[in-house]
Amino acid sequence: MRWNAALTSLETWHELRQASHINQAALIALIQTINSYKHQSSGWFVLALLINNWINDKLSMHQHFLSGIHANSIAHK
């Protein structure tokens, strides 16, 4: 179940950042790699959790940044 949450986060990040500087091919390969190894007890689970936390952090930073831009544009009208 936690694997699915990590994969969903990666896939959501991929969808939200289509036009970003992130290497999309590398991100897709990472999703596929984690998906391939998720049924084995290995460090892949830990890696997926670390990536999931990183993605959530980046998403919250991105949303905070966009909120700041929006507030700034309203203040200058």
> Got the DSSP string for 13-28?
HHHHTTTSSS-HHHHH
Q: Which two tokens stand for residue 64?
A: 């905070």
For the whole model, what pTM was predicted?
0.35
| The one-letter amino acid at 44 | W
Which pLDDT tens digit goes with each residue over 34-65? 777 666 666 666 777 777 777 777 777 766 66
pLDDT at res. 33:
73
Structure confidence by residue, pLDDT tens digits, 2-38: 667 666 666 666 666 655 555 666 677 777 777 776 6
Q: What is the pLDDT of residue 20?
A: 57
Nearest-angstrom CA–CA distance, 2 and 48: 9
Instruction: Provide the residue count of the chain.
Output: 77
CA pair distance 14, 34, nearest whole angstrom:
15
In this structure, what token pair is assigned to residue 24?
Answer: 């999309």
